[in-house]
């Protein structure tokens, strides 16, 4: 009896060592991937937007938050990074990389709290190599902060679920309120957590009061910024491409369609649904699944049911918002894999499922790191910087404002104007344009010809030629033609 107990204890110690070693491996791999080639890509439009906000300071960050979808707290860490190390791509992206690393570490803590060690290790491994998480860990936008916020709120939620104390409620309300400032979808996920607490609570009156305090705090802290966000959201109905349910699931696990092939995205979709079916097939899994199932359900109900009912559909580019659901999706899939591993007849299915999702992740990551360029505007700006003279002027058509933003960041010495309108054969532009929403209506129009003092300028537009380009080419000859799809840049000089 004593000998068998010793052997069993040794076996448990060996298993713990395996889990600890495996956890260290996946954490090191996950952190490495989040910082790998962090500064390789040039900044693209949304990141340039962040850079301009940071450059314009706290006052501009606050005023823009009143007319945009993101509260100021989501931009403040980037402002701080810019103040400490300068406004560079690496410094701005470092905010997201650090936030994503904190999210990974917090997720590992949460997974080992709510799952058996083997299942938790699967969860952390899948989260560590998730292409979508890694992609947004390398972008100077607040999605990495949002992911960090939702994982930290899950940690606070789990502590509160286990021990309904005033201290834990204060921590949870604080964490939920801060997380909600990072991304506008997070309050919906917090709603799923609160519903779970109400379902599982022994003292529902206490939980109801705490939930009410959470809702009030989030409402008060987000209140000043809701009108601007609402105005942006109502504009979604004019967007030609809308979010798709199946496409969103593919993006969650395989990554953006720009670097994840259709086959890889389909494999990820099949993995997600199979993992979900396997997870819910075991009733013992329902309790740990509940908060995640509710979070996912609420987001999908809002996105694909409520918004269409009120005449709005979220645009396709907002698949990025589903990054906040990634922890829940991974928890569900890992539970499904573990449910199969616990059955001898299902171990082969579990292995196949794990191999499928790991393969799809690494294929997408390989394409992202070695075959993907996120910033055509940055590439074109670099080409123009090399070819331009110091006193060259730049005129951008309104559909090429992202190139304009890239030129302001990478070539601040160039004088840039944006085409505004054409009237009776005269072209009018605006001086010193800005991509900031709050500044777009403050510029005065000036006549185009006044700015071409040396008879030479760059004209930038998208691939489809503007109607007035032909008349320009009658007066000016093309000295150089640079193109990075979908943008063209013509160096023009008067005949």
Q: What is the pLDDT of residue 349?
A: 85
pLDDT value for 453 = 58
Chain mean pLDDT for the chain: 89
The pLDDT-based confidence of 326 (bands split at 50, 70, 90) is very high
- Confidence at residue 350, expressed as pLDDT on a 0 to 100 scale: 86
Quick one: average pLDDT of 450-454?
Answer: 62
Residue with tokens 């908060």: 291
Comparing CA positions, the residue from 447, 464, 454 lying closest to residue 491 is 454
What is the band of 189 on the pLDDT scale with cuts at 50, 70, 90? very high
Domain boundaries, the chain: 2-371, 376-494
Distance CA 224, CA 235 (A): 19
Model confidence at 78: pLDDT above 80: yes
Question: Is the whole model's pTM more than 0.85, yes or no?
Answer: yes
CA-based nearest residue to 397, from 448, 446, 460: 460
The larger pLDDT score, comparing residue 447 to residue 304, is at 304
Tell me the per-residue pLDDT of 54-71, one tens digit each, with 9 for 90 and over: 999 999 999 888 888 889
Cα distance from N-terminal residue to C-terminal residue, the chain: 100
Residue 1, pLDDT above cutoff 60: no
- 106: confidence class by pLDDT, cuts 50, 70, 90: very high
Question: Can you read off the two tokens belonging to residue 346?
Answer: 């299902």
Q: How confident is the model at residue 442 (pLDDT cuts 50, 70, 90)?
A: low
313 pLDDT above the threshold of 90: no
In this predicted structure, what is the pLDDT of residue 452? 65
The pLDDT value given to residue 12: 67
What is the reported pLDDT for 217?
96
Whether the per-residue pLDDT at 195 is higher than 80: the answer is: yes
More confident residue, 447 or 307: 307
Q: Please, which residues have CB within 8 angstroms of residue 225's CB and are 6 or more apart in sequence?
A: 65, 66, 71, 72
| Strand 393-396 relative to strand 456-462, pairing | parallel
| Nearest-angstrom CA–CA distance, 111 and 123 | 7
Region 103-132: mean pLDDT is: 95
Express each pLDDT in 328-386 by its tens digit. 999 999 988 888 888 877 788 888 888 888 999 999 999 999 999 999 999 999 999 99
Highest mean pLDDT among 192-201, 259-268, 464-473: 192-201
Cis peptide before 486 (omega within 30 of 0): yes
DSSP letters along 36-56, please? TTTTTSPP-HHHHHHHHHHHH
Name residue, tokens 């962040």.
50
Q: What is the DSSP string of 290-342?
A: HHHHHHHHHHHHIIIIIHHHTT---BGGGGGGGGGGHHHHHHHHHHHHHHHHT
pLDDT above 70 (res 437): no
Better pLDDT: 23 or 390: 23
- Which residues lie across from 477 on neighbouring strands? 493
The pLDDT of residue 429 is 83
Tokens of 46: 């949304």
Residue 451: is its pLDDT beyond 70? no
When pLDDT is averaged across residues 294-303 and rounded to a whole number, the result is 92
pLDDT at 480: 93
Distance CA 317, CA 314 (A): 8
Q: In the predicted model, what is the mean pLDDT of residues 400-419?
A: 91
- The predicted pLDDT at position 21 comes to 94
What DSSP string runs through 367-390? HHHHH--S-HHHHHHHHHHHH--T
- Mind listing the pLDDT tens digit for each residue in 124-153? 999 999 999 999 999 999 999 999 999 999
88-102, 430-444, 459-473: which has the highest mean pLDDT?
88-102
Q: Which residue has the higher pLDDT, 30 or 494?
A: 30
Q: CB–CB of 336/282 below 8 Å? A: no
Instruction: Report which of 290, 277, 415, 414 is spatially closest to residue 346, judged by C-alpha positions.
Output: 277
Average pLDDT for 204-221: 94
Give me the percent of the chain exceeding a pLDDT of 90.
53
pLDDT value, residue 194 = 96
């Amino acid at each position: 009896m004593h000998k068998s107990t010793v052997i069993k204890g040794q076996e448990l110690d060996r298993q713990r060592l395996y889990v600890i070693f495996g956890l260290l491996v996946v954490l090191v791999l996950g952190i490495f991937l989040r910082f790998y080639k962090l500064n390789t890509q040039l900044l693209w439009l949304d990141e340039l937007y962040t850079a301009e906000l940071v450059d314009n300071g706290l006052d501009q960050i606050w005023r823009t938050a009143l007319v945009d979808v993101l509260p100021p707290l989501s931009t403040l860490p980037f402002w701080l990074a810019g103040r400490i190390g300068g406004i560079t791509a690496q410094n701005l992206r470092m905010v997201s990389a650090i936030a994503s690393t904190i999210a990974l570490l917090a997720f590992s803590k949460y997974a080992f709290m709510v799952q058996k060690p083997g299942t938790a290790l699967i969860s952390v491994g899948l989260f560590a190599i998730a292409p979508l998480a890694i992609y947004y860990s390398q972008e100077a936008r607040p999605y990495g902060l949002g992911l960090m916020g939702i994982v930290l709120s899950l940690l606070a939620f789990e502590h509160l679920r286990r021990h309904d104390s005033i201290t834990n409620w204060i921590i949870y309300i604080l964490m939920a309120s801060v997380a909600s400032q990072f991304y506008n979808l997070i309050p919906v996920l917090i709603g799923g957590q609160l519903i779970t607490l109400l379902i599982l609570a022994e003292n529902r009156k206490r939980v109801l009061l705490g939930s009410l305090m959470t809702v009030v705090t989030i409402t008060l802290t987000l209140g000043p910024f809701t009108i601007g966000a609402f105005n942006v959201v109502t504009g979604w109905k004019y967007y030609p491409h809308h979010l798709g349910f199946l496409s969103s699931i593919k993006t969650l696990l395989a990554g953006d369609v720009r670097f994840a092939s259709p086959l890889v995205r389909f494999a990820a979709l099949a993995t997600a649904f199979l993992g979900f079916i396997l997870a819910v097939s075991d009733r013992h899994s329902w309790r740990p699944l509940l908060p995640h199932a509710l979070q996912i359900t609420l987001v999908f109900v809002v996105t694909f049911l409520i918004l269409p009912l009120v005449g709005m559909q979220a645009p396709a580019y907002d698949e990025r918002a589903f990054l906040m659901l990634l922890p829940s999706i991974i928890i569900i899939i890992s539970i499904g894999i573990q449910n199969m591993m616990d059955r001898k007849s299902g171990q082969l299915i579990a292995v196949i499922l794990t191999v499928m999702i790991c393969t799809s992740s690494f294929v997408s990551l390989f394409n992202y790191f070695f075959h993907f360029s996120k910033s055509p505007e940055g590439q074109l700006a670099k080409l123009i910087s090399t070819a331009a003279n110091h006193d060259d002027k730049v005129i951008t058509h309104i559909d090429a404002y992202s190139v304009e933003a890239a030129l302001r960041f990478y070539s601040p010495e160039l004088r840039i104007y944006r085409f505004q309108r054409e009237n009776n054969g005269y072209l009018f532009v605006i001086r010193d344009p800005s991509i900031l929403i709050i500044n777009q209506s403050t510029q005065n129009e000036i006549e185009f010809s006044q700015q071409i003092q040396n008879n030479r300028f760059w004209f930038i537009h998208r691939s489809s030629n503007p109607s007035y380009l032909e008349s320009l080419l009658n007066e000016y000859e093309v000295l150089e033609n640079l193109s990075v799809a979908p943008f063209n840049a013509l160096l023009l000089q008067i005949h």
